[in-house]
Amino acid sequence: MIDHMSICVRDLDRATPFYEAVLETLGYSKLRTSPNSVGFGKTYPEFWINLRAGMRPLDSDNGAHVAVRAPTTAAVDAFHAAALAAGGHSDGAPGQRPQYSPAYYAAFIRDPDGNRIEAVTFPKQD
């Protein structure tokens, strides 16, 4: 149903390498750039970061939440580790989330601008 999504960042030069490192763990790469935006995806730009100069930092009260599907639990773990290494903050360590579904495995991070991004997968249960 959803073709693409975008989030705003205050500094595109800072956000681009952050998202390159984090989204690479999920098989995404930088596919398109313009002076005010960068698009990431596997075959076409699905996830965009857009410059919004003067934007105030986000906090947990903003309510925005973007979830990206990961292929494996290892990819979720790598997503979380890459985000922390690139300057992001944990908003939920990798692990099962039975309150959502018995097969829900996810990690939550905040990027340097405070956007909340989740990587999620649904591993088969043994």
Task: Kindly tell me if the per-residue pLDDT of 116 is higher than 50.
Answer: yes
Query: Model pTM greater than 0.85?
Result: yes
At 111 the three-state DSSP class reads coil
- For the ranges 4-13, 53-62, 89-98, which has the lowest average pLDDT? 53-62
Task: Kindly tell me if the per-residue pLDDT of 126 is higher than 50.
Answer: no
- Choose between 97 and 55: higher pLDDT: 97
Where residue 125 falls among pLDDT bands split at 50, 70, 90?
low
Q: What is the pLDDT of residue 63?
A: 55
Written as one letter, the residue type at 92 is: G
Chain-centroid distance of CA 31 in Å reads: 16
Chain-centroid distance of CA 68 in Å reads: 6
Task: Kindly tell me if the per-residue pLDDT of 59 is higher than 70.
Answer: no
Q: What is the pLDDT of residue 124?
A: 77
Of 104, 73, 107, which is closest to residue 91 (Cα–Cα)? 107
Q: What domains lie within the chain, and their CATH numbers?
A: 5-52+68-121 (3.10.180.10)
- Per-residue pLDDT, averaged over 76-85, amounts to 98
Asked whether the beta carbons of 38 and 6 are under 8 A apart, the reply is: no
Asked whether the beta carbons of 109 and 80 are under 8 A apart, the reply is: yes
pLDDT tens figures, 23-37: 999 999 999 999 999
Structure tokens at 108: 């939550």
According to DSSP, the residues that pair with 51 across neighbouring strands are 9
